Amino acid sequence: MKKIHSIIGGEVAPGFEEVKKEFIKNFTKRGELGATCSVYYQGQKVVDLWGGYRDWKSRLPWKRDTLVMVFSSTKGLAAMTLAVAHSYGWIDYDAPVAKYWPEFGQEGKKEITIRQLLSHQAGLCALEAPVYVEEMKNLDGVAEKLSRQKPLWKPGTKHGYHAATLGMYMNELIRRVDPQNRSLGQFFQEEIAQPLNLEFYIGLPEEVPDDRIADNKMVVSPRAVFRIPLKMTLRFLNPRAFLYSAFRIPRGYHPHKRESRSIELPSGNGIGQVRSMARAYGEFATMGAKLKIRKETMEELMSLSITPAQGALDEVLGIPSYYSLGFTKPGPNVSFGTSRSAFGAPGAGGSFAFADPDKGIGYAYAMSKMNYNLKNDPREKSLRKALYRCLH
């Protein structure tokens, strides 16, 4: 049987060889089983690597066109759709959500702005009316339940990770402002994926076979579990905690089931090629000319995150967090990119993708073996650090 690190494909541009060395080390030293990493620099692809197994039980190798679910890293691509809508002049980030979606204004939500909603400050991280997977294709019905939800805290005073609901609210916003009433997944395909020649789906089409998709597996070990902050573990186990509720939407969801993959869940079920993610972020990192992104929109995305009045402590996760316009932002204890103008989104298990406009970088990494690190997974971080060493 081949050694796993011998099953490496792809290439790097001259000057970026150190990234490939670290990619191989991930397999030989850090327990990687299957992964891919891609980087665009100043509009050019400079790193495109894949290796190991997309299904390590049956030893099926990761291929150039292998797709992978990236969980919450999907949020960044979903946020790009709102940025495109902003560039089209369809939304104002500081306008109330109810301006575009009047029913949203129920239950004390009339003054919540799009900026507050996208920054996880609206207090809408959970739902009193349960939503089941089989209901998710009826977006009108989902929107009705979303609009009836009461905020769990005074909007704008603090923030808490809207693990699943953020994408649902973003989906309805796009439907409301788009003259064609497209869903967010449709809008992403036509306004971002097609112009950039990407293969990434928010709602997997029927024609894409399951055997192209990497098999994400969580490897359970005592050492790995201890990487999760104790406060977060306790919240996840407490049925009265926001975290417990936030991660159980929609009910019946399972990432390996076709039904769950086919619905549009812009918070967490995006499936695609990782180079497509890097290409999308690379476009935004170089001012988005092909997507006709306005300078004003880019300035918004690059601006500092606004910490709510009660501080950076995340009411859901129990750790400091920094959010802006649907993206995760760098902060005092969350570092990526070369300054706080960077923006991106991490995903469960270790995936991460971001734009660094200072350097013109679009970066993305995803894997099949899922770890428990909330940030800075050693495999991903080693690649990111090697990339910036190459630039220096």
Task: Kindly report the number of other CB atoms within 10 A of residue 115's CB atom.
Answer: 20
Residue 111 pLDDT exceeds 90: yes
Tokens matching residue 242:
């926001």
CA angle 277–307–148, rounded 5-degree value: 75
**pLDDT at site 285:** 98
Binning pLDDT at 50, 70 and 90, where does residue 374 land?
confident
**pLDDT at site 1:** 44
Q: How far is CA 180 from CA 183, 205, 236, in A?
A: 9, 20, 40
Per cent of the chain over pLDDT 90 is 84
Residue 28 backbone dihedrals phi, psi, to 5 degrees: -85, -25
Taking the C-alpha atoms of residue 144 and residue 140, their distance in angstroms, rounded to an integer, is 6
pTM of the model as a whole: 0.94
Binning pLDDT at 50, 70 and 90, where does residue 76 land?
very high
**pLDDT at site 121:** 98
**pLDDT at site 223:** 57
> Which stretch of 43-52, 92-101, 141-150, 218-227 has the lowest confidence by average pLDDT?
218-227
Residue 95 pLDDT exceeds 80: yes
Taking the C-alpha atoms of residue 259 and residue 269, their distance in angstroms, rounded to an integer, is 11
Taking the C-alpha atoms of residue 93 and residue 291, their distance in angstroms, rounded to an integer, is 19
**pLDDT at site 294:** 98
> Contact, 386 vs 18, CB < 8 A?
yes
Can you say whether the dihedral through the CA atoms of 181, 137, 345, 55 is positive or negative?
negative
Give the pairing of strands 34-41 and 44-55: antiparallel
**pLDDT at site 236:** 58
Average pLDDT over residues 48-75: 95
pLDDT tens digits along 170-225: 999 999 999 999 999 999 999 999 999 999 999 999 999 999 999 998 776 555 55
Average pLDDT over residues 248-252: 90
**pLDDT at site 115:** 98
Average pLDDT over residues 346-372: 96
- The 3-state secondary structure of the chain reads CCCHHHCEEEEECCCCHHHHHHHHHHHHHCCCCEEEEEEEECCEEEEEEEEEEEECCCCEECCCCCEEECHHHHHHHHHHHHHHHHHCCCCCCCCEHHHHCHHHHCCCCCCCEHHHHHCCCCCCCCCCCCCEHHHCCCHHHHHHHHHCCCCCCCCCCCECCCCCHHHHHHHHHHHHHCCCCCCHHHHHHHHHHHHHCCCEECCCCCCCCHHHECCCEECCCHHHHCCCCHHHHHHHHCCCCHHHHHCCCCECCCCCCHHHHHCCCCCCCCEECHHHHHHHHHHHHCCCHHHCCCHHHHHHHHCCCCCCCCCCEECCCCCECCEECCEECCECCECCCCCCCCEEEECHHHCEEEEECCCCEEEEEEECEECCCCCCCHHHHHHHHHHHHHHC
Binning pLDDT at 50, 70 and 90, where does residue 392 land?
confident
Residues belonging to the chain: 392
Residue for token pair 């665009």 = 40
pLDDT tens digits along 265-287: 999 999 999 999 999 999 999 99
More confident residue, 247 or 330: 330
Q: What value does the mean pLDDT of the chain take?
A: 93
pLDDT tens digits along 221-249: 555 555 666 666 665 566 666 777 777 88
Set out the domains of the chain in order of their start, with CATH numbers. 4-391 (3.40.710.10)
